[in-house]
């Protein structure tokens, strides 16, 4: 039996590999990648590489073996993910894997915003497959915001989320939770609602960034149409800008990304990373 991580060269996948190698021997870990050259550093650590592509279902036949525990990390091609993920689930079922864990979305069926649609359909595909599963319903990454700090320092924080609270955590926090359910017992057919311990508003985010940077960073709440203009002006395609605007309006504003279950800190055995710490690290970087 191996622990198999798909999308292993992505930002989350690499962190999951790190977390696994801290607790289990490298020969028990498998990384599924599209490009072995990009994963050479992972192979150098003793991890087996299996070559497969979500977009090429025929390549997935060799990605899994009977008895494997698989982590399906969701793809980043919104609108194509259902077909991609379904192909992975089908290959995992054909191989006879022991369990499949999936990085879904906070709230699952209750997540009433467009970005959640692919995740909800994937959960349904996994349930329909009959495979033993673990759903890791991840909330928002704090890095979704801190990656934009240089722009925020210059232009401020703009959104349409109002006073909606965001129960974010870092990728490292979510990776630690994934490793915990892949290596631990008692996670069969379990669902975890994963969010940070302390939710915050975009106004509070701007205030913390102001404090740490010794700059004045304001949060400006704008109508959805204005936010789309800002995002398109920053170079995002219109369709993707619509999805991000919808997250603010239909996800964050009504509280669907606030979380609060405590599942994440319980799984990782420590508090989640505070917003202030993530901002501090981003400013230093």
Measured distance between the N- and C-terminal CA atoms of the chain, rounded to whole angstroms:
39
Instruction: State the Cα angle at 118 between 35 and 129, rounded to 5°.
Output: 85
The predicted pLDDT at position 79 comes to 81
The predicted pLDDT at position 1 comes to 84
Residue 115 has pLDDT above 90, yes or no: yes
pLDDT band at 76, cuts 50/70/90?
A: confident
What is the CATH code for 3-139+170-195+260-272? Answer: 3.40.50.720
Instruction: Give the span between the Cα atoms of 212 and 77, in whole angstroms.
Output: 34
Q: What is the mean pLDDT of the chain?
A: 97
Q: Going along 38-189, which residue ranges are E strands?
A: 48-51, 69-72, 99-105, 133-138, 157-159
Residue 77 has pLDDT above 90, yes or no: no
The predicted pLDDT at position 147 comes to 96
pLDDT digits (tens, 9 = 90+) for 167-191: 999 999 999 999 999 999 999 999 9
Q: pTM here? A: 0.96
The predicted pLDDT at position 271 comes to 98
Domain-wise residue ranges, the chain = 3-139+170-195+260-272
pLDDT digits (tens, 9 = 90+) for 229-251: 999 999 999 999 999 999 999 99
In this structure, are residues 280 and 212 in contact, taking their beta carbons and an 8 Å threshold? yes
pLDDT band at 277, cuts 50/70/90?
A: very high
Going by C-alpha positions, the residue among 213, 221, 215 that lies closest to residue 276 is: 213
pLDDT digits (tens, 9 = 90+) for 121-148: 999 999 999 999 999 999 999 999 999 9
Bigger pLDDT: 76 vs 84: 84
């Amino acid at each position: 039996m191996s622990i198999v991580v798909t999308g292993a060269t992505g930002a989350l996948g690499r962190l999951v590999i790190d977390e696994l190698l801290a607790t289990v021997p490298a020969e028990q870990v498998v990384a599924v990648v599209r490009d072995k050259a990009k994963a050479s550093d992972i192979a150098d650590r003793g991890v087996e590489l299996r070559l497969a592509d979500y977009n090429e279902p025929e390549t997935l036949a060799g990605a899994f073996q009977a008895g494997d525990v698989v982590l399906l990390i969701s793809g980043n091609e919104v609108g194509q993910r259902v077909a991609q993920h379904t192909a992975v689930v089908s290959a995992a079922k054909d191989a006879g894997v022991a369990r499949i864990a999936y990085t879904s979305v906070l709230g699952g069926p209750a997540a009433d915003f467009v970005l959640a649609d692919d995740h909800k359909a994937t959960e349904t595909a996994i349930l329909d497959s009959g495979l033993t599963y673990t759903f890791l319903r991840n909330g928002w990454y704090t890095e979704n915001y801190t990656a934009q700090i240089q722009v925020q320092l210059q232009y401020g924080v703009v959104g349409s989320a109002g006073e909606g609270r965001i129960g974010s955590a870092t990728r490292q926090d979510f990776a630690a939770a994934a490793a915990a359910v892949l290596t631990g017992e008692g996670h069969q057919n379990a669902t975890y609602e994963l969010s940070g311990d302390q939710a915050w508003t975009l106004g509070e985010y701007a205030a913390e960034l102001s404090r740490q940077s010794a700059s004045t960073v304001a949060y400006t709440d704008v109508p959805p149409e204005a936010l789309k203009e800002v995002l398109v002006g920053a170079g995002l395609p219109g369709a993707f800008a619509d999805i991000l605007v919808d997250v603010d309006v239909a996800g964050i504003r009504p509280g669907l990304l606030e979380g609060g279950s405590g599942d994440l800190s319980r799984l990782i055995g420590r508090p989640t990373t505070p917003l202030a710490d993530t901002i501090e690290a981003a400013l230093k970087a």
